[in-house]
């Protein structure tokens, strides 16, 4: 383990966090809120610690795969712990575990909340929790890769540890250029949504916060009613953009490179669109009797499907009241998740496709023992290492899920509530069903259950293994 380099990366995380804390401070100035003084104080603390840790650059800037995974997990923990403190300093969320739950939910783009009255928060804190979605969506280390000078292989190990999906590839030869390109696409799409929402009549503050949540596929709203009070046009704009942010960013890179054929030929993207189309069609039919018109049923269905499969978590209606078929489809979408290489969470469409093709290959092997077949994605064979990692991922995911539900059951809430609470946090979705549905919140749980769900949110965002690696004793041995 290259401890000096780990320290250097964590210090850069604090510098970046200190810098972005300037934005809620600016919000406090605009709205004349005294809470901004606490944010200013904490910004100074983060910057001081960050500059102290980066004053001396390590002699060895190599980050091996193990170091990259550990650095990613520790970065998210440090970022979350320091990001929770402003909520406590302002007194708006005085409990540490509640403040930590809220900001971890923000950075991991989960959108689950312990707050029963969101509108009681200052504009300063509302902006901070929403902006945490935007930062966490692309990943803080992706941003830092544009700043810190490390060896190219080290950059890839950091990026691989933080990026969602079964595999990570570089768009361009240099990883730093890839990070810059990702953020350019991310920023352009975010700005476009903000502009369209404002043109549709949404207030600037709401448009900013909702767009941050859409871009990061988060889900923190600024109103107690969620997105229900926004106009149909505004809801459609949000629906379209959460869908777009759930697409693999390689798709947009290929479009920019004028390779539309390759972009639209991506099997994961086509499967993602098909899943959404079928889900929207079935749910629209299933809930048609609950709404006054077909267009309203379609809008409600499309919004909830897009929000859940991309793990954004916004809501315009209480889908707890929907028929069982519609609720079951939404639960299935919670596990499916968005595309790999997007800002969305969940298991990812690509993993599910590969799993289904693995099952098919196994059945063919049984039926025709002498046949030789390979699993392919987009015309390329899936290597054994990727298949092995996906199988291990599913097993690990199932174990964490089962243990988490077991611990939450201590609080004596209904199984539906506990099951979907874990599904919502481990898949970084936001709302579940029952007491943690779109009209409920996670404040009902005990500190132990909240701590478990904090772990689940971080594990889900980091694809399980970087966080689990911290509990492995061999991780902390110095490289000989």
- DSSP element (H, E) containing 365: helix 349-367
Place of tokens 């002699």: 59
311 in a known ligand binding site: yes
- DSSP element (H, E) containing 380: strand 380-381
- What residues contact 26, with CB distance under 8 A and at least 6 apart? none
110 in a known ligand binding site: yes
Half-sphere exposure of 255 (CA within 13 A, CB side): 9
Cα(87)–Cα(264) distance, rounded to whole angstroms? 44
Cα(168)–Cα(345) distance, rounded to whole angstroms? 15
Cα(93)–Cα(377) distance, rounded to whole angstroms? 46
Calculate the alpha carbon distances from 318 to 187, 194, 240, 422 in Å.
31, 26, 20, 19
Q: Please state the separation of Cα 3 from the chain's center in Å.
A: 28
Residues shown for the chain:
480
Calculate the alpha carbon distances from 89 to 20, 44, 85 in Å.
17, 14, 6
Cα(307)–Cα(305) distance, rounded to whole angstroms? 5
229 in a known ligand binding site: no
**Among candidate residues 359, 321, 351, 316, the one with its CA nearest the CA of residue 427:** 351
396 in a known ligand binding site: no
Two structure tokens written together for 294: 């077909």
Two structure tokens written together for 186: 């991310």
Burial class for 255, CB neighbours closer than 10 Å (0-12, 13-18, 19+): middle
Q: Please state the separation of Cα 316 from the chain's center in Å.
A: 20
- What residues contact 143, with CB distance under 8 A and at least 6 apart? 16, 135, 179, 183
Half-sphere exposure of 114 (CA within 13 A, CB side): 25
312 in a known ligand binding site: yes
Is 145 within 8 Å of 223 (Cβ atoms)?
no
Is 342 within 8 Å of 332 (Cβ atoms)?
no
Output the CA angle 181-184-185, nearest 5 degrees. Answer: 90
Is 53 within 8 Å of 140 (Cβ atoms)?
no
What are the binding residues for K(+)?
Answer: 109-110, 218, 311-312, 428
What are the binding residues?
Answer: 109-110, 218, 311-312, 428
């Amino acid at each position: 383990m290259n401890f000096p380099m780990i320290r250097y990366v964590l210090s850069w995380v604090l510098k970046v966090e200190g810098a972005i804390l300037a934005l809620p401070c600016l919000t406090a100035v605009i709205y004349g809120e005294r809470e901004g003084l606490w944010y200013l104080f904490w910004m100074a603390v983060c910057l001081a610690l960050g500059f102290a840790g980066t004053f001396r650059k390590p002699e060895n800037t190599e980050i091996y795969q193990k170091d990259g995974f550990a650095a990613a997990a520790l970065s998210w923990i440090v970022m979350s712990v320091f990001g929770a403190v402003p909520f406590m300093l302002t007194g708006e969320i005085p409990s540490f575990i509640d403040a930590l739950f809220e900001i971890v939910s923000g950075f991991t783009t989960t959108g689950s909340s312990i707050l029963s009255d969101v509108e009681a928060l200052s504009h300063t804190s509302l902006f901070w929790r929403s902006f945490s979605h935007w930062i966490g969506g692309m990943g803080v280390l992706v941003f830092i890769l544009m700043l810190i000078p490390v060896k190219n292989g080290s950059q890839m190990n950091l990026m691989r540890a933080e990026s969602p999906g079964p595999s990570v590839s570089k768009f361009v030869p240099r990883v730093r250029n890839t990070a810059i390109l990702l953020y350019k696409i991310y920023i352009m799409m975010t700005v476009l949504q903000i502009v369209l929402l404002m043109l549709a009549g949404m207030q600037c503050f709401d448009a900013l916060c909702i767009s941050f949540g859409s871009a990061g596929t988060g889900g923190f709203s600024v109103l107690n009613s969620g997105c229900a009070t926004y106009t149909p046009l505004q809801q459609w704009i949000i629906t379209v953009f959460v869908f777009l942010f759930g697409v693999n960013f390689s798709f947009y890179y290929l479009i920019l490179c004028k390779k539309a054929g390759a972009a639209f030929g991506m099997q994961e993207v086509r499967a993602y669109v098909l899943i959404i189309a079928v889900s929207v069609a079935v749910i629209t039919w299933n809930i048609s009797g609950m709404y006054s018109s077909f267009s309203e049923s379609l809008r409600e269905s499309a919004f909830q499907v897009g929000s859940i499969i991309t793990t954004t978590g916004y809501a315009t209606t209480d889908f707890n009241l929907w028929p069982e078929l519609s609720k079951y489809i939404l639960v299935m979408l919670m596990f499916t998740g968005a595309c790999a290489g997007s800002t969305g969470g969940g298991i990812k469409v690509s993993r599910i496709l590969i799993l289904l093709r693995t099952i098919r290959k196994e059945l063919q092997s049984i039926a025709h023992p002498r046949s030789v077949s390979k699993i392919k994605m987009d015309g390329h064979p899936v290597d054994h290492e990727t298949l092995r990692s996906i199988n291990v991922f599913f097993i690990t995911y199932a174990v964490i899920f089962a243990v988490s539900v077991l611990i939450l059951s201590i609080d004596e809430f209904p199984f539906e509530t506990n099951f979907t609470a874990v599904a919502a946090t481990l898949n970084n979705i936001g709302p579940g069903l029952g007491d943690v549905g779109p009209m409920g919140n996670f404040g009902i749980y005990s500190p132990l259950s909240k701590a478990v769900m904090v772990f689940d949110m971080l594990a889900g965002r980091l694809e399980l293994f970087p966080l689990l690696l911290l509990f492995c004793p061999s991780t902390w041995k110095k490289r000989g």
